[in-house]
Amino acid sequence: MIRKKITLICLCVLCVFKVVSINPKVIDTLEIHKQIKAFDIDEDILNFKSNFFSSIVFKNDSILYYNPNGTLHLFEISLGENTNVSKISKSVYSGHNFNRHLFIHNDIIFSLGGQGLFNSFPGIIYFESNLSGWLEMDIKNYPFDTKSVLNSWKKGNKIMVLLNHYSASEYNKSDEVCKFSFGEINLTTFKYQQHFTFESPDTDLRLIKEDYFYDSDFYSIYGSYEDKGKIAYRVFDKKSGISTRTSNLDALERVNGISYVYIKDSSVFYRSDNGKIKSFGVNSGTIIHTKDLLKQYKGRVNNIFSHTIIVTIIAILISLLFFNIKRRKENKLSNNKVDNTLYIEEKLIRFKNSIITKEKLDELFNISHYSYETIKTRRSMIINHINENGNLLITRVRKKDDKRFYDYKIS
């Protein structure tokens, strides 16, 4: 009996602990913003209201980090009865890390990719607490021609990445076919392993615009702000690479910090302004739309391969057709030449063992109506054909009355 009671108490404690552990504390954005203002940071650079919920990562339920989009500022925010904000970075502004992927691994804060100032940064930087600043991490086997990180998500101790590469031309046009590769960066060895490459116009390869982000071990929640205070949520399955929109997600309201959306294991939780929590499974509700990124990327590899095969086959067929037409044409011309040569020889027979003038020969060849250069070329060609046949022989002989010119002897 005592053992049963102890077991029951332990189960209750575990349940309570689990409920508490999956319930991030209230994020008082007004208080956080107020304390950040005390550090005298330009509000235009900070852009707190627009990017706060897409620029935070959780160390645990009570501590989160805030890295304003497009900057190297880093704040540690302690949540609880009294919210406390401290600036832990000395770095200010990078100019190339807008829309970077912020994540934590082994209690280290990383920032992957980013863009800005007409440039992009394809690498990884991490926050070194002893220096109060960011350092770049060397990635082994990373493609040297990487232009930017188009998509990425953390999966265990790896980061899955879709990379955009520089093309042969210095600048890419918006409608130009670009080169991409998909692979993974190991966060233990920091080695890159490429899975496949493909070429495609730079369209429809990203997840939705990220105004809200919450990350867990197996899933991520992305939110995109819409008109009239609405927000579009998507759950992203890191294992399958599928982004899903459901009726249950559509029913969730835009969060403000007191209200909040988060995910634990395979359940989505929503905490309302009054603290009430409701949850549902990530696959529950009516599925409205899915986007299979991995299938989409791999499909483009197959499409390029199929396209190459089709183009090759068409090129071979065109070449064969052209060769066949050319051969027929050559045969026809050859036959015509034989027929014409025989016809001319019949006319020349009556002049055998005679000497005739050039003008008379051109008349027999039926070429006297052409231009001077054409007559000269055709006369030479016909004479060669007749001489090759061996039935007659046409040779040049100098005129008796004017050695500068020639007549033709038929023998």
Q: Which of 280, 300, 320 is the last residue of a domain?
A: 300
Query: Is 8 among the domain residues?
Result: no
Residue 17, pLDDT score: 38
Residue 307, pLDDT score: 52
- Could you please report the per-residue DSSP string of 246-298? EHHHHTPPPP-SSSEEEEETTEEEEE-TTS-EEEEETT-S-EEEEEEHHHHHH
3-state secondary structure of 28: coil
Extract the runs of DSSP E, i.e. beta strands, from 345-384: 354-356
Instruction: State which amino acid sits at residue 21.
Output: S
Q: Which helix (DSSP H) or strand (DSSP E) does residue 12 occupy?
A: helix 2-21
Report the distance separating Cα 123 and Cα 113, nearest Å.
Answer: 5
182 and 267, same structural domain? yes
Q: Mean pLDDT over residues 263-290, rounded?
A: 94
pLDDT digits (tens, 9 = 90+) for 156-197: 999 999 999 987 654 445 445 688 999 999 999 999 999 999
Instruction: State which amino acid sits at residue 8.
Output: L
CA angle 75, 59, 131 (to 5 degrees): 50
Query: Is 71 among the domain residues?
Result: yes
Query: Is 15 among the domain residues?
Result: no
183 and 282, same structural domain? yes
Residue 16, pLDDT score: 38
pLDDT digits (tens, 9 = 90+) for 212-233: 999 999 999 999 999 888 999 9
Instruction: State which amino acid sits at residue 163.
Output: L
| Gap between the terminal Cα atoms of the chain | 134
112 and 41, same structural domain? yes
> Is pLDDT at 289 greater than 60 in this prediction?
yes
Among 41-45, 205-209, 253-257, 382-386, the range scoring the smallest mean pLDDT is 205-209
235 and 343, same structural domain? no
Report the distance separating Cα 264 and Cα 241, nearest Å.
Answer: 18
| Residues 11/15/21/22 CA torsion (nearest 10 deg) | 150
Average pLDDT, the chain: 84
371 and 239, same structural domain? no
151 and 253, same structural domain? yes
Look up residue 244 and give its two tokens: 């899903």
Of the candidates 86, 85, 89, the residue with the CA atom closest to the CA atom of residue 32: 85
Question: With contact defined as beta carbons under 8 Å apart, do 126 and 135 qualify?
Answer: yes
CA angle 287, 180, 120 (to 5 degrees): 100
180 and 254, same structural domain? yes
Buried b (16+ CB within 10 A) or exposed e, 16-54: eeeeeebbbbbbbbebbbebbeeeebeeeebebeebbbb
Q: Which of 249, 277, 300 is the last residue of a domain?
A: 300
391 and 350, same structural domain? yes
Report the distance separating Cα 181 and Cα 150, nearest Å.
Answer: 10
Q: Which of 285, 300, 315 is the last residue of a domain?
A: 300
Of the candidates 158, 243, 164, the residue with the CA atom closest to the CA atom of residue 209: 243
Report the distance separating Cα 234 and Cα 250, nearest Å.
Answer: 9
Query: Is 3 among the domain residues?
Result: no
327 and 390, same structural domain? yes
**Confidence band of 302 (pLDDT split at 50, 70, 90):** low
Q: Cα–Cα distances in Å, from 356 out to 121, 129, 325, 345, 376?
A: 86, 107, 40, 14, 16
Query: Is 4 among the domain residues?
Result: no
Query: Is 2 among the domain residues?
Result: no
Q: Mean pLDDT over residues 297-301, rounded?
A: 83
Top pLDDT among 74 and 319 is at 74
Query: Is 1 among the domain residues?
Result: no
**Burial class of residue 93 (count of CB atoms within 10 Å of its CB; 0-12, 13-18, 19+):** middle
CATH number at residue 282: 2.120.10
Give the structural domain span for 344: 304-410
154 and 263, same structural domain? yes
390 and 277, same structural domain? no
Q: How many domains does the chain have?
A: 2
308 and 288, same structural domain? no
CA angle 185, 187, 192 (to 5 degrees): 25
Contact residues for 107 (Cβ-Cβ < 8 A; gap 6+): 59
Percent of the chain with pLDDT over 70: 83
Contact residues for 13 (Cβ-Cβ < 8 A; gap 6+): none
Helix 372-389 crosses helix 293-348 at what angle (to 10 degrees)? 80
Of the candidates 158, 161, 123, 124, the residue with the CA atom closest to the CA atom of residue 144: 123
Look up residue 397 and give its two tokens: 């002989």
Residue 194, pLDDT score: 96
Instruction: State which amino acid sits at residue 371.
Output: S
| Residues 199/204/210/216 CA torsion (nearest 10 deg) | -70
> Is pLDDT at 288 greater than 80 in this prediction?
yes
**Confidence band of 28 (pLDDT split at 50, 70, 90):** very high
Query: Is 200 among the domain residues?
Result: yes
